Amino acid sequence: MISWMRLTACLLSIVLLLSGCWSRRELNDIAIAEGVGIDMSDGQFELTVQIVNPGSVTKAKGDHEIPVIVYSSKGVTLNEAVRRLTSSISRNIYFAHIRILVLSEDLATKGIVKAMDYLMRGSEFRTDFDVVIARNSSAKDLLSVMTPLEKVPANYIFNSLEAAKKEWTSAVTIKLDQLSSGIVTPGKSSVISGIQIIGDHTSGTNNNNINYTTPRVRLQYSGNAIIKKDKLVGWLNEKESRAYSVITNQSKRSSIHLVCPEGGNIGIDIARVKSKIYAVVKNDNPEIFIETRTEGNVSDVECKINLFKTETIAYLDKQYVEFLKSNMESTIKKTQQLGADIYGFGEAVHRADPKYWNKVKDHWEQIFKQVDPHLNVIAKVRGAGTMGDSVVNDMKE
């Protein structure tokens, strides 16, 4: 009898400890933020928040209301700016669903570490959202542009970034926690995709912008920012950005064109890319090796060429290798001039010889500028598509 009483008492105690949904938040009481932007204005942080308009997602009103509302406020610290937003919004902002963080180019040039500290420290923010830089515009203006295909512009920015990374490899994705890790890692620099406004941004704030077959204002990814420590020190153009993706094994699919022996172009659809970086330290002298293997298929032929000949394929393979090596070498030289190791050469040296790395990590920038990486590129053209011969060959003079 006493055992049953003790068991009942224990069960009742456990039930009392089950708090249920004590911290629940009703949807009617919160404003869901999908995108956040940070600018510098008059020496203060200017925080911009893109809030989902609940009325826009209903079937009855979805076609008549603007899908998002953009609010902004200033503060000496980001915490002040967030709290000041409450004077403009009737609901508490819910930051757990952020898809994208937009930093202005001006802020990135001055340094992003102060802004990141609040985002990393605050319990309201996750750290697994993508970070981009608003190029030649403010983050506030960029988040105010209405976009086609996606009702919420923050989702458009996120999805187009993923598509650009997978199909063209000119853009890169970096999460907030990855960016933070890159800033505090000795000798490591980071890369953040840049996005810019095409057209007059004031026209893009109107919902009519998406009612045209060709939107008057649109967003487009443009180059990648080189972040050294916590400051923007330069930009990679499209060609250099694609080479960076190949070197760091982030390239998925892409497309290039090669020059035919007698003039004209032949398109190559890059289907597979694998790269590996490793280091060897000899006599306190680090050597970097980059091994790249890639395969591609002929996508279009705009010249007279016989794809059935082995020497033709050998010629294309050679052009393919030279194209990749040339882009990789020029990109590495550019970043060496900036002293920004965005590839992880220092990490490769650390893996190869930790004792040597501990001696040089504080002045790795100078050593990085002198490194001459060994490039081993193997590129093969495997297929000719669904056609063997070219239509150009069949045309009569």
Domains of the chain: 26-236 (no CATH), 238-397 (3.30.300.210)
Provide the pLDDT confidence category of residue 332 given band limits of 50, 70 and 90: very high
Q: How far is CA 101 from CA 116, 132, 141, 150, 376, in A?
A: 11, 6, 14, 17, 37
The structure tokens listed for 334 are 């550019």
- Residue 364's pLDDT is 96
- Residue 204's pLDDT is 86
pLDDT of 182 strictly over 70: yes
pLDDT of 16 strictly over 80: no
**Gap between the terminal Cα atoms of the chain:** 106
- Residue 123's pLDDT is 76
Q: How many CA atoms lie within 13 A of 19 on its CB side?
A: 4
DSSP class of 1: -
More confident residue, 274 or 387: 274
More confident residue, 385 or 175: 175
What share of the chain in percent tops pLDDT 90? 64
Q: How far is CA 324 from CA 149, 313, 369, 397, in A?
A: 34, 17, 21, 35
Cβ neighbors of 237 (< 8 A, separation 6 or more) are 223
Three-class SS state of 51: strand
Beta bridge partners of 39: 46
Classify residue 93 as exposed, middle or buried by CB count within 10 Å of its CB (0-12, 13-18, 19+).
middle
The structure tokens listed for 273 are 């890319």
- Residue 121's pLDDT is 87
The structure tokens listed for 332 are 């590495």
pLDDT of 100 strictly over 50: yes
Provide the pLDDT confidence category of residue 159 given band limits of 50, 70 and 90: very high
The structure tokens listed for 309 are 């000949």
Beta bridge partners of 302: none
Task: Quote helix, strand, coil % in the chain, to nearest 5.
Answer: 40, 30, 30
pLDDT of 385 strictly over 50: yes
pLDDT tens per residue, range 204-214: 888 888 888 88
Provide the pLDDT confidence category of residue 202 given band limits of 50, 70 and 90: confident
pLDDT of 61 strictly over 60: no
Provide the pLDDT confidence category of residue 339 given band limits of 50, 70 and 90: very high
- Residue 396's pLDDT is 45
Mutual orientation of helices 113-121 and 78-85 as an angle, nearest 10°? 60
Give me the mean pLDDT over the 289-312 stretch. Answer: 92
- Residue 10's pLDDT is 73
CB atoms within 10 A of CB 23: 6
- Residue 160's pLDDT is 94
Provide the pLDDT confidence category of residue 199 given band limits of 50, 70 and 90: very high
pLDDT of 131 strictly over 80: yes
- Residue 291's identity, in one-letter code, is E
The tokens 């990486």 sit on which residue?
373
Strands 44-52, 68-75: pairing kind: antiparallel
pLDDT of 20 strictly over 70: no
Lowest mean pLDDT among 55-64, 99-108, 132-141, 283-292: 55-64
pLDDT of 1 strictly over 80: no
Beta bridge partners of 279: 288
Three-class SS state of 341: coil
Three-class SS state of 319: helix
Three-class SS state of 149: coil
pLDDT tens per residue, range 104-126: 999 999 999 999 989 988 778 88
Three-class SS state of 6: helix
The structure tokens listed for 14 are 């456990």
- Residue 62's pLDDT is 46
Measured CA angle at 161 (ends 235, 267), to 5 deg: 80
Give me the mean pLDDT over the 216-231 stretch. Answer: 94
pLDDT of 7 strictly over 80: no
Provide the pLDDT confidence category of residue 23 given band limits of 50, 70 and 90: low
Lowest mean pLDDT among 5-9, 42-46, 133-137, 307-311: 5-9
**Mean of the per-residue pLDDT values of the chain:** 89
Three-class SS state of 97: coil
pLDDT of 89 strictly over 70: yes
